[in-house]
Structure 1
Amino acid sequence: MKTYNVGIIGFGFIGKVHAYGYANIPLFYEQQDFATRITHVCTSRPESARRAAAAIGATHACTDSRDITDNPDIDIVDICSPNDCHCEALLAAIAKNKHIYCDKPLVASYAEAQRVQAALAGYRGVSQMTLQNRFFPSTMRAKQLIEEGRIGDILEFRGRYLHSGSADPKAPLKWKLEAGTVADLGSHILDLVSYLVGDFAALQAATHIAYPQRPSLNDPTKLVPVTAEDNMIVTAKLPNGAIGSIVASKIATGTEDEVSFEIYGSKGALRLDPMNWDKLYYYDCAASGAPLGGVRGWTAVDCGQRYAKPAGFPTPKASIGWMRGHMHCLYNFLSAVHSGQASGPTLERGVYIQYLMDKVYQSAKQGTWVNL
C-alpha cells in the first residue's frame, strides 16, 4: 500500500473538515491501494499549530507554509487557509510539483489566478479544487442525466446558495464577510450550475451591501466600514440563448446552508430542493385556522446538525450528508493522485471560476451584460 504524506496549511473550520476526511477515508472506502498520513500542519500562530497537530496526530507543527510546500517528504499540499493567503502557497507547491488539494475560491483575485495559471504550464502534479457540491449522488446523477440527453435542450435554469448569517446588522466584520459573498458562496454555486448546464456565453450581475457599517471583530463597540457584498444575483446566458438566474446570499433571513437548483429542458427537468433531509415538519392542530387559514400549516423546524454539546463539529447549519460530499471530493482527489491522472475539478477550473467572479464584479459595477 502506498502511503502519501500530507501537509495541511490552515486549520480553521475547513482544515478540520479535510483532516476528518483523511482520517476517515479508510472507514468510508474499502480499498487497499493507498493511504494518507498527515505529518505537518501549518497555522499563523505557534500555539494554534501545536494544538492542531496534537488534535490530528501530526508530527510537525509550523507557522511557515514553506515548511510544507518545500519539504521533499510531503506528497500532498492541502490548502485550507483564507483565500487571500492561497496564492503564494500555491505557487510554491506548483514549483515543487506537489499534489495540491485547494479549498475554494482558488485565490483572492483574478490577477492572482492568472499568476497561478501561468505557473501551471510546467506543473507535473495532480491538483483538485474543494468543490464538494459536485460530489453528492444527486448532483452526480443530474450530470449523468443531462449528458445522456434525458432532459433535452436546456431552456431555463436557476441555482441558489443561501445563508442568513449576515442578515443581522450586529454580526461582526469577520474575514469571511470581508472576502465577500461572491467569493465565499458564489464560487460554489457558479461552479455547480456551470458544471451542470455548461459554460456561460454572457452574464449580467448585481451585488448589494446590506449594512454599510458593522461592529469591529476586535472591538464590537466600534463600527467599521463594509466594502464587500452581502449577496449577488446573476443572470446568465447559455450559447443556445437560454437564460437562468444564479443567486448567492448571506442575508436570506431564515435560511441555513441551502443549495438548490432547477434545470428545465425540452424533454424533462431536474430539481434539487434545499436541505430536504434536515427539517422536521411539524403540524400543530392547536394552531388557529382563522381567519383565512390563520397560522395553521406545516412548520419546517431547522434541526440541521444541532446535536447537544459537547458535539460541535461540523457546523450545526450544515446539511445532513454535507461531510459525505467532502469525503467523496477528497477520495476523488486521492484516487487521481494514485493513478497519476487528474479528474478534476483542477486548479484550472479554479482559475475559470475566478474569471467568472471577476466578470460578476465587472457587470455589477457597470450595470450591463458582460460577454464571456
Structure 2
Amino acid sequence: MLFERPSDDTLYDALIARDPGYDGLAYVGVTSTGIFCRLTCAARKPKRENVRFFDTTAECLHAGFRPCRRCRPMMGTGAPEPLVATLLDALDREPERRWLEVDVVAMGFDASTVRRAFRRRFGMSFLEMARLRRIGKAVAHLAEGDSVVDAQLDAGFSSGSGFRAAVTRLLGETPARLRGKAMLKADWIETPIGPMIAIADLHALHILEFLERKALATEVRKLQAATGSAIAFGRSAPIDRIEAELAAYFAGRSADFATRLAPLGTSFEQQVWGGLRRITVGTTATYSGLAADIGNPAAVRAVGRANGANPIAVVIPCHRVVGAAGDLTGYGGGLWRKRWLLEHERRMAVGRGAGPLS
C-alpha cells in the first residue's frame, strides 16, 4: 500500500528526460514561476534548485502552485469526463472567482453528478478545488509583496475579519452570549498540509481537526452541549503546547505528544482511541486488528465508526488504520492527507535508525 516515491534527484532526471514512465507518479512545482506540471511537460526545464516534487495535484494546490496551461496536470492520465474537462477549463479561465454550486448548475450540470465525478478523479469536489486555487493565488500575491488585505480579497473574503467571521459562525457564539459562560478557547495552527483548528480549556485539548473536515461543525456543537461552555478565539496552555509538538512532528523531529487530551466520546470510543495511540509510528493496523487489540474482535464495524468519530487528528492517529487489503479507506481530512501522513511517518521511522518512533 505504501509506495516509496523515487528520490527527488531521480524525479528531476525523469523531468529532464520527459520520461513517460513517471507520468502521474509525481508532480513538479516550479518555485520561480509558481506553476506545477506533469513530469512529461514540454515546457522549458527549470533549474534543480527551483523545483519541489509532490505526490498529488491536491498537495501542489495546497502549497500555492497553479496548474500549467501547457501540460494541464489537473486532467490526470486518460481522458477526463466531458463535464470535468469543461469545469477545469472554466476554473483555468477564472481562478480568482468564488465559485458556488449555483454557478455549476447555471452551466447546465447537476451538482451531485459533478461532485461525484470530481471526487472520483481528484479526491475532492470542484468547489474544494476552486477554493484551493483561490487561496493559492492569494498566497502567491503575498509572496510577491502584496498586502494582506489584497490577498484576503483575492481569496474571496470581503474584509480582514471575514475568515474569523466564518469560523465564528461555526462556533455559534456572539460576544453578547458569552457573558457568564465557562470558556473554551479556539485558535488556528498552521501545518504543511493545511490549517487545523484546536479547541481547548485551561487543562486539556478537546478538538484538533483540519478545517475541511465535514464533521467539524457537529463536533463543536456536541462539545458545547456537553460542557455548557462558550467558545471564543484565544490561546490556552494546551493549544500552545500542541502547536509546539505538531511543529516538531511535521519537521520530522519527534512523534511524541504529551499534551493532555480530553476527546468527547463514549467509553467504547475512548477504548478505540486508546488503541489507536498504541499503533507504532511508521506502521499501520487494520480495523480487525484494532478490534482484537482492544479485546473485542467481533466489533470491527463499531471500531470503524469510532475511528471515524475521532475528534483529535494526527495525535490520536486514526490515519494509521487501513483496510484488510492494505487500501487507504476513508479519512475525514482527505485521503491525500492520510497518504501524506503515513509516508511522513514511514520516513521518520526509517530515519530514526534505532527503530520506529513511539
Report which of the two has the higher share of strand.
1
- Name which structure has the greater RCO, CA cutoff 8 Å, separation 6+: 1
- TM category, shorter: under 0.3
The TM-score with structure 1 as length reference comes to 0.27
